[in-house]
């Protein structure tokens, strides 16, 4: 009897651990991790989103765009990147409390970090002074001139500056969202642009990213995770019922 109960407890504990791990994996893949500590102060204004555009769809498109941008940047490098330390400027206009800038930082860490690249996240007076000096947050063009880029050379250790801008957000016929994001990278020492790309991501009505920058992406439906979790819970309930039935059957009559 004791052996049966001990074995049953072990099985239940194992299933509970596996279920917890699956939920943890979902959280990590969702790209909703918090901002890095001491991230530079964001001064973005809200981007005007079309009426009726779903906030979750828009966030999903933004995360996909940030991920695709860094994948394309790494893919465009011949050999090891010459510049190692990057700083990401806050977007002048962003969505939902600077969500695009957050995802650009998160995805940089996930994709570029393993390639030996580093992200400047320390907030200091020099950074804020520079943003005020170039009148960041006011009307700014689609790119940055060399003289403005070179001013960031005062921030010690930073070699490259990332300038991103949302070009447009639109609702789709399937009640999804289409996002156009332009990302440019500048070498601070020379002020020259070393890489740039317009990223286009689109989500359908069920939060499945279907396209990015003309490339079909792997389909990941959030609903699948609910199915998996529901199946695991159902299996756990059945197992508990069976264990109790076995326990009752093994009692002396």
> Closest by alpha carbon to 103, among 136, 59, 71?
59
Q: What is the pLDDT of residue 22?
A: 41
Give the pLDDT of residue 209. 45
3-state secondary structure of 70: helix
Percent helix, strand and coil across the chain, each to the nearest 5: 45, 20, 35
Sign of CA dihedral 47, 52, 54, 58: negative
Residue-number span of the structural domain to which 245 is assigned:
2-24+226-250
Task: Please tell me which residue, 8 or 242, carries the higher pLDDT value.
Answer: 242
**Residue 22 to residue 5: CA distance in whole angstroms:** 26
Q: Does residue 97 sit in the same domain as residue 46?
A: yes
Ordered strands of the 160-171 beta sheet:
118-119, 85-88, 160-171, 177-187, 193-203, 209-212
Residues 77 and 9 grouped into a single domain: no
Q: 57-71, 91-105, 119-133, 198-212: lowest mean pLDDT where?
A: 198-212
Task: Assess if residue 102 is contained within a domain.
Answer: yes
137 and 173, same domain (yes or no): yes
Look at residue 30 and tell me if it is in a domain: no
DSSP 130-177: HHHHTTTTS---SS--HHHHHHGGGSTT--EEEEEEEEEEEE-TTS-E
Its pTM surpasses 0.85: no
64 and 116 both lie in a single domain = yes
Task: Find the helix or strand (DSSP H, E) in which 201 lies.
Answer: strand 193-203
Residues 132 and 15 in one domain: no
B/e letters for 136-169, b = 16+ CB within 10 Å, e = fewer, are bbeebeeebeeebbbbbeebeebbbbbbbbbeeb
Q: How many domains does the chain have?
A: 2
Specify if 29 maps to a domain: no
| Domain shared by 90 and 191, yes or no | yes
Residue 135 CB neighbours (<10 A): 10
Please tell me whether residues 13 and 81 are part of one structural domain. Answer: no
Q: Based on the fold, state whether residues 12 and 126 are members of the same structural domain.
A: no
What does the pLDDT look like over 51-91, one tens digit per residue? 989 999 999 999 999 999 999 999 998 887 889 999 999 99
Predicted pLDDT of residue 243: 82
Question: Treating both helix axes as pointing N-terminal to C-terminal, what angle do 222-250 and 2-29 enclose, rounded to 10 degrees?
Answer: 170
Dihedral of CA 132/134/140/144: which sign? negative
């Amino acid at each position: 009897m004791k052996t049966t109960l001990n074995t049953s407890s072990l099985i239940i504990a194992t299933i509970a651990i596996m279920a917890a791990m699956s939920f943890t994996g979902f959280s990590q893949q969702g790209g909703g991790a918090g901002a890095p500590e001491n991230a530079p102060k964001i001064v973005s204004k809200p981007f005007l989103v079309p009426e009726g555009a779903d906030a979750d769809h828009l966030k999903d498109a933004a995360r996909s765009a940030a991920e695709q941008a860094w994948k394309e940047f790494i893919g465009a490098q011949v050999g090891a990147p010459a510049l190692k330390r990057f700083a990401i400027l806050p977007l002048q206009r962003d969505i939902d409390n600077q969500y695009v800038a957050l995802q650009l930082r998160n995805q940089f860490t996930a994709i570029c970090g393993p390639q030996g690249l580093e992200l400047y996240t320390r907030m200091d007076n020099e950074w804020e002074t520079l943003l005020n000096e170039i009148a960041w947050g006011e009307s700014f063009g689609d790119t940055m001139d060399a003289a403005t880029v070179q001013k960031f050379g005062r921030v010690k250790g930073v070699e490259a500056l990332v300038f991103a801008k949302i070009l447009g957000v639109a609702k789709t016929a399937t009640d999804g969202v289409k996002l156009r994001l332009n990302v440019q990278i500048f070498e601070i020492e020379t002020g020259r642009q070393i890489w740039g790309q317009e990223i286009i991501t689109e989500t359908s009505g069920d939060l499945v990213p279907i396209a990015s920058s003309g490339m079909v992406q792997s389909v990941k439906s959030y609903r699948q995770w609910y199915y998996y979790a529901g199946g695991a819970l159902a299996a756990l309930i059945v197992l508990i019922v069976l264990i109790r039935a076995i326990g009752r059957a093994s009692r002396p009559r």
